[in-house]
Structure 1
Amino acid sequence: MKRTFFAILITSVLSYQPIWAADWLPVRDISLEVRPGSPLDFSGMLPNSPIDEAGRIVINAAGKLAKVENSEAPLRFLCASLAWSPASGGFPDHETADRYAAQLKMHGYNVARFHYVDAALMEGRSTDFDFNPDVLGRIHYLLAALKRNGIYWIMDGLSSSRGAHGGFSDRWEVKGDLKLGAQIDDADFNHWLEFQKRFLAKVNPYTGTAPVRDPALVAIVPFNENGLEFDSMMQEGVRGAAFSERLKPLFNEWLSRKYETSEALIQKWGWWVTKGNLTDRSIALPTNRYERSERMRDLQSFFIEVEQGATHKMTQALRELGFRGVILPYNNWPTIQTGVTRSIQEAVAMNTYQDWVDSYSPGTSIQGKSSLEDGLLYLRTIAAARWLGRPFFLTEYDHLFWNPYRYEAGLAAPALAALQDWDVLCRHAHGPIILKYGEDFAHKKQMLPYAIALDPIARAGETLAALVFRRGDMKSSSLRIPFLADGQAHLPDGINDMEPEMLTRLALLGRIGLQSQQDLDQTNVAVPPVRGGQTPAAIVSQLKQRGELDASHLADLDAGNITSQTGELELHAPDKKLALRSPMTQALAFDGIDADVDLGFVTLRSADGRGLFAMSSLDDMPLEQSKRMLLILASDAHNTDMRFRDADERVIEDFGRLPVLIRKMEIGIRFETDSAFRISPVGLDGRVYNPIIAAEGQNAVILTNDVPSGPTTYFLMERD
């Protein structure tokens, strides 16, 4: 009892305990507009070319995204997530849109994803399809501004479960039945189609072309996150049942076609048929989604038929409207069942999160864990959901604020995406950048989950992603390890089963993904369709026997000590370290540094806390010859007066307010150079300040983010 009382007392005190000022430094930057020509202006290094018919994006013969005019040259896209709501400021006016689009270009973005446009257009509207004309005009102008800056578009056909129905105040929440209905009901499908006609197929006055026919529109997600099982899971609390009763008559019709009689069904299902019969179409849906049975296998087959039917129907509708780009149905939930559904698609998109947060309310909690500790599970799980030989879009990912390890995402996500040779990388956010701190909107008054624009740690990660992924500083693996699929022959008896976790560790070595068994090249080492009994060690052994990996290659997948087949990416999961060693960028995400870490040109000697260090060439020369380099040092960031309910800072009490505080950090560094060099702080707006370090040759130095101009995550290194 005493122990319980003491714990309660400590928790109560901690919930009102501010962040210690000595360890956290207030950000002084107000303007966050990157200065032209500064070290953070990537528009010259990563140029965006004009978007016209010759620049329309197609899928080339190798299954990669490329321009019509040069289809043999694959392109990578760093994506800016635009998910604005009134709480985050909504779509900007024309002058701000011009500035914003220009800034996205400078930050290295070359595509933008429009998310929840339907909700923005219908906010506060009482009549179906009564779009707010001011919001519509702003969206149209922003599309044109992005296109002028060489930034392509990805669109959601619909995002909100309320669609364009009038009279709803909860269209930003996970409520409504339209995601399900659009797949099984003609009226709901026609509502979905009407939105495409009224928004995508109407001429944008600022471009002179309807978005659906514009070469700037690369891809459409017909309806965001609308998989039948995922939507059912998200709606279970609202519906009060595992699966909607709207599915029951369709499921019974499907069962009737397959089994014809109740007796045949009973013989297959056994005691799961507890009531109802096929004669009067009264077979019940499962009441527990975690049931494992033949009934769940049939439910998966039924879902596949419905989803593939909806894929064909929505694809045909978009093609008839004139869309020539990529169509990306069912963009989340990497289960075995959804993988089969996606087998008919021309490309695959997925969403994934480390430490997902579903509320901003006091008492909301996170796990607060490192993604390196479990070997990047959130990323390799979706790696196994792609189909090899087709474009892959990561339409949403994040390692969410306030997780103290979120610096890892800035290296882990772009590095794994590069290793896997994915095509599009999109860190989810209200918007990836802001023009200044202090905007008077609810979601911009402090850092919040999904508000990466205000978070210097997330922003530093996006800067690194532009170099590692879009510029291509890390090589893609030439090693392909197909996960063979044989249609529905091996559906599991659980509807949420995914690829075995141990086998997805192969993604840390080389490219993985689904492949039809009939398309297998017999010279490849592959994971058989029956996953049971397969181990990553056995696959690695085969790869070494065939010479696809050197016999001494570090590939202890069980322990989590792995070097990629390219030799550039190295994970030590037990130590929570991830290192990148490439000619143009060297980086380390670390929980601590207690011994020298040799990255090649740079060696890290020590650090007084966890964080991310990266060093990238800015003059198109390898680091050994480069004269101008960007250094990134990202620790952690909190809001002023941020408070928690627990000592581990996992349960939020109050998000606090601006200014943002960056955790003070020092790191010891030594460079392999005989030249004199100097290191200057770079503000969050790209402004270069006076040097704080000037040294000769290989002398070790101590770099700190506590600099006279105010804390930062960026530094410029120059050498003679």
Structure 2
Amino acid sequence: MRRAILWGLAALLAVPSPVAAADEWLPVRETSMVLGTASPLDFSAFLPNPAIDDGSQLVTGKQGRLVRADEPEKPVRLLCASLAWSPASGGYPDHADADHYAAELAKHGYNIARLHFVDASLMFGRNSDFDFDPEVLDRVHYLLAALKRNGIYWIMDGLSSWRGAYGGYDDRWDPASDLKLALYFDDKAFDHWLEFQRRFLTLVNPYTGTAPLDDKALALVILVNENNIEFDSIVREREGKPHYDERLKLPFNRWLEKQYGSTAALSKAWPDLSAGERLEDASVELPKSRYEDSPRLKDLQAFFVSVETTTAARMTKALRELGYKGEISSFNNWPTIQTTLSRQDLPVITMNTYQDWVGSYAPGATMTQKSSIDDGAGYMRLIAAARWLGKPFVVSEYDHLFWNRYRYEAGLVMPAYAAQQGWDVLCRHGHGPIILKYNEPYAHKKAMLPYAIALDPVARAGETLAALLYRRGDVSASKLTIPFLVRGTEDLDDDMQAREPERLTELALVGAIGMEKAGEVDDGLTVGQPRASVDPQTILDAARAAGSLAKDNQTDLRTGLYESDTGELLLDRLRGQLRVSTPRTEAVAFSTLREPVNLGTVKVEASDGDGLVSVSVLDNAASIAQSRRLLVIYATDAHNTGMRFSDDEEKVIADFGRLPVLIRKGYVDLSLTLAEARWRLTPVTLNGVASVTAAQTISPAGFRISNDTISGPTTFFLLEAD
């Protein structure tokens, strides 16, 4: 009861102040978004991308992390640019824009890119199978070469579109086909997938002189995007249709026959087996509902594990026979116990996750408007519990979606915990992470939309901070690892949607977590089986006793307070705050600020609303206190002009509106403990220009930052010793 009361109080405190009046929303003035020379937002000087050549390909090192082959003892953190282009978002750029785009990605700190739905783009408007659009193919090839010249590796999907490379379809971005399911059971579908790999990946790129399959820049192939059988069936679920496709029935019956041998044996395990169901004539039915727990559903999950692992192995073998030597993954979403088992044998684990997922751009689309901090970073913990320890871990998609008012949290929650967990790749999903200019004439660039992070100043501020927290390594990796022990299919239960318990995944807010085969690790600091018998507090107590967790660590599971073992991260669900305190970055995301927040060198004294504030070193100094050049980020919220909702809570969209983007006006009062008495505070425009005419001399002992500057609203400020 006490816990329920505390969570209710946290939700009450997290309610933001009423939506500001129209004159409190400030229109963005920038059109060009290309960073100028010597821009404070150009990180390439201290986050350089080494050349990609022989010896620099990414491989798995001995410690289970991604490394460059010629530096096998040095794990790399890869900040990923999601390139999920379609005709609606402008498609692949021409050669000149590709050169500019790749160069800009490098300036922003990206060192890997994921090309998503390439198959759909190549086949858009084509009527014959594998009849790639020659102009699109040329643009894809040129972009790959431009990325490589800028030291940016590639991640590719073996298949993204449900239509694959079949001709004659105009719904390539919609789940209209059962191709992803057919790949498991139909050799013709498998052969189609393989032929696409052969025709695209083995075709020599004229701009690199090498086929993508053989290129050192191709770091990872995700065999098929989001291809878990259960997830695909949910995506294609329609009213009046069975939950499970009839094509599953015969292979399921054959699998059951191998497991049980006879109908009589099966009837002892399944109380609901009817008289008309017999293994001998393959008449055993699939579950009618995925939401009614039963032994039938438990066995269906074990069947899925068998089919998925066998098919992934078959696909992997086929790619190897084509000559591919790089990393491979699959099943990159759906964090259930069943899918965790399917991922067990993969060399790399990939996962997608979202806070406040949005499924449509149409009026009436909804979201919850929930805070991820109030949820204890639940969307981060979901995928943390899908990791297998000792293998590279790639976040192939994540976002805290527009128009959620708390999405400023994403710039702190995900990069901070990705670094703390020791993950290898972090990819915030979108049509592209940056744009070269506003006001492009494409449907998905006429306004901010979900999955269009490049147009959103709040998301861009978060990605800028991610380059520092995650890629630069301002947040250090946890030294405490807590394995979750896995036995095998005996860990499945009757619930098809079963996941690792939330009360246990909260341990990810203290140390690194992941799956480990039972019997390989047993040092007392493990989450054993059955999970219901595990007390997370007992594990934390054991960590303190072993010296793996400091005696004064502030974590209190009862009140929702979690401090990382490094002491750098402090998540406070009750106050709606995440604090990050490291030598080179101090930051806080907050839905309430009832009292000043002391981060160490930086103190946030007051604010007129919720938001994100960070202060980061920009020079070679080892700490904020020693630095003479600091970047301050202050992010609130942003809407489109004319944006309308169907409800007062802004959960239901009525009209996304249009450009220009509007930033919610706000201010924050800061004080910094610095040796120099006089500093110069200069607003930096969204496209990275320091507005010298708007600079002011301030005392670090106390000053105000307002995003309403004479050069226009912004999220960036440069603080330099005068």
**TM-score bracket, shorter-length normalisation:** over 0.9
- State the AA in 1 paired with 2:297: M
Aligned-partner Cα distance in 1 for 2:123–2:64: 37
Please tell me whether residue 559 in structure 1 is matched to residue 576 in structure 2: no
Aligned-partner Cα distance in 2 for 1:454–1:693: 26
Structure-2 residue corresponding to 1:682: 684
Q: Secondary structure at the match of 1:604?
A: strand
Aligned-partner Cα distance in 1 for 2:404–2:159: 30
Aligned-partner Cα distance in 1 for 2:276–2:307: 24
Structure-2 residue corresponding to 1:539: 539
Q: What displacement does 1:287 show?
A: 1.1
Structure-2 residue corresponding to 1:651: 652
Map of 1:34-49 to 2, 5 A cutoff?
A: 34-49=35-50
Map of 1:162-311 to 2, 5 A cutoff?
A: 162-237=163-238, 240-273=241-274, 275-311=276-312
Structure-2 residue corresponding to 1:102: 103
Q: What displacement does 1:568 show?
A: 0.3
Please tell me whether residue 142 in structure 1 is matched to residue 143 in structure 2: yes
Please tell me whether residue 438 in structure 1 is matched to residue 446 in structure 2: no
Instruction: Name the CA shift for 1:573/1:19 in 2 (closer, same or farther; >3 Å).
Output: closer
Q: What displacement does 1:546 show?
A: 2.1
Aligned-partner Cα distance in 1 for 2:247–2:188: 13
Aligned-partner Cα distance in 2 for 1:523–1:290: 37
Structure-2 residue corresponding to 1:88: 89
Q: What displacement does 1:698 show?
A: 4.4
Aligned-partner Cα distance in 2 for 1:369–1:82: 27
* Deviation string, structure 1 residues 214-233 (Cα, Å, up to 9, x no partner): 00000000000000111111
Q: Secondary structure at the match of 2:236?
A: helix
Structure-1 residue corresponding to 2:367: 366
Q: What displacement does 1:666 show?
A: 0.6
Out of 545-554 and 385-394, give the one that drifted further.
545-554
Aligned-partner Cα distance in 2 for 1:696–1:653: 44
Structure-2 residue corresponding to 1:397: 398
Aligned-partner Cα distance in 2 for 1:266–1:18: 60
* Deviation string, structure 1 residues 61-95 (Cα, Å, up to 9, x no partner): 11111111111111010000000000000000000
- State the AA in 1 paired with 2:237: E
Contact 2:694 2:711 survives alignment (8 Å)? no
Q: What displacement does 1:558 show?
A: 3.1
- State the AA in 2 paired with 1:204: N
Aligned-partner Cα distance in 2 for 1:697–1:689: 19
* Deviation string, structure 1 residues 430-462 (Cα, Å, up to 9, x no partner): 111100000000000000000000000000000
Instruction: Name the CA shift for 1:152/1:400 in 2 (closer, same or farther; >3 Å).
Output: same
Q: Secondary structure at the match of 2:182?
A: helix
Contact 1:429 1:450 survives alignment (8 Å)? yes
Q: What displacement does 1:649 show?
A: 1.0
Structure-2 residue corresponding to 1:718: 720
Aligned-partner Cα distance in 1 for 2:113–2:134: 22
Structure-2 residue corresponding to 1:624: 625
Q: What displacement does 1:557 show?
A: 2.1
* Deviation string, structure 1 residues 272-329 (Cα, Å, up to 9, x no partner): 4464211111111001001212111111111011000011101001111111111011
Q: Secondary structure at the match of 1:71?
A: coil
Structure-1 residue corresponding to 2:13: none
- State the AA in 1 paired with 2:701: N
Out of 289-298 and 206-215, give the one that drifted further.
289-298
Out of 692-701 and 350-359, give the one that drifted further.
692-701
Structure-2 residue corresponding to 1:456: 457
* Deviation string, structure 1 residues 605-636 (Cα, Å, up to 9, x no partner): 00000100011101121111111111100000
TM-score (norm 1): 0.96
Paired positions, count: 703
Instruction: Name the CA shift for 1:691/1:581 in 2 (closer, same or farther; >3 Å).
Output: farther
- State the AA in 2 paired with 1:690: V
Structure-2 residue corresponding to 1:570: 570
Structure-1 residue corresponding to 2:377: 376
Structure-2 residue corresponding to 1:708: 710
Aligned-partner Cα distance in 2 for 1:684–1:694: 19
Q: What displacement does 1:151 show?
A: 0.3
Structure-2 residue corresponding to 1:4: none
Structure-1 residue corresponding to 2:5: none
TM-score (norm 2): 0.96
Please tell me whether residue 498 in structure 1 is matched to residue 493 in structure 2: no
Structure-2 residue corresponding to 1:513: 514
Contact 1:365 1:651 survives alignment (8 Å)? yes
Instruction: Name the CA shift for 1:581/1:86 in 2 (closer, same or farther; >3 Å).
Output: same
Structure-2 residue corresponding to 1:50: 51
Aligned-partner Cα distance in 2 for 1:582–1:608: 25
Aligned-partner Cα distance in 2 for 1:67–1:552: 38
Structure-1 residue corresponding to 2:162: 161
Structure-1 residue corresponding to 2:78: 77
Structure-1 residue corresponding to 2:489: 488
Q: Secondary structure at the match of 2:709?
A: coil
- State the AA in 1 paired with 2:252: F
Contact 1:19 1:640 survives alignment (8 Å)? no
* Deviation string, structure 1 residues 586-609 (Cα, Å, up to 9, x no partner): 000011322111111110000000
Q: Secondary structure at the match of 1:555?
A: coil
Q: Secondary structure at the match of 1:537?
A: helix
Q: What displacement does 1:32 show?
A: 0.6
Q: Secondary structure at the match of 1:679?
A: strand
Structure-1 residue corresponding to 2:548: 548
Instruction: Name the CA shift for 1:19/1:603 in 2 (closer, same or farther; >3 Å).
Output: closer
Out of 685-694 and 451-460, give the one that drifted further.
685-694
Q: What displacement does 1:697 show?
A: 4.6
* Root-mean-square deviation (Å): 1.4
Aligned-partner Cα distance in 2 for 1:638–1:157: 36
Aligned-partner Cα distance in 2 for 1:275–1:628: 77
Q: Secondary structure at the match of 1:518?
A: coil
Q: What displacement does 1:524 show?
A: 4.7
Structure-2 residue corresponding to 1:68: 69
Q: Secondary structure at the match of 1:343?
A: coil
Instruction: Name the CA shift for 1:696/1:171 in 2 (closer, same or farther; >3 Å).
Output: closer
Aligned-partner Cα distance in 1 for 2:524–2:452: 43
Structure 2, unaligned runs of 5 or more: 1-17
Q: What displacement does 1:696 show?
A: 5.6
Out of 608-617 and 257-266, give the one that drifted further.
257-266
Please tell me whether residue 600 in structure 1 is matched to residue 600 in structure 2: yes
- State the AA in 1 paired with 2:543: L
Q: What displacement does 1:668 show?
A: 0.6
- State the AA in 2 paired with 1:664: K
- State the AA in 1 paired with 2:578: L
Contact 2:561 2:571 survives alignment (8 Å)? yes
Contact 2:524 2:542 survives alignment (8 Å)? no
- State the AA in 2 paired with 1:130: D
Instruction: Name the CA shift for 1:421/1:18 in 2 (closer, same or farther; >3 Å).
Output: closer
Q: Secondary structure at the match of 1:613?
A: strand
Q: What displacement does 1:535 show?
A: 2.3
Q: Secondary structure at the match of 2:49?
A: coil
Aligned-partner Cα distance in 1 for 2:203–2:240: 35
Structure-2 residue corresponding to 1:13: none
Aligned-partner Cα distance in 1 for 2:698–2:367: 45
Structure 1, unaligned runs of 5 or more: 1-16
Instruction: Name the CA shift for 1:254/1:508 in 2 (closer, same or farther; >3 Å).
Output: same
* Deviation string, structure 1 residues 23-61 (Cα, Å, up to 9, x no partner): 100000111111132100011110001101211111011
* Deviation string, structure 1 residues 567-591 (Cα, Å, up to 9, x no partner): 0000111111000000000000011
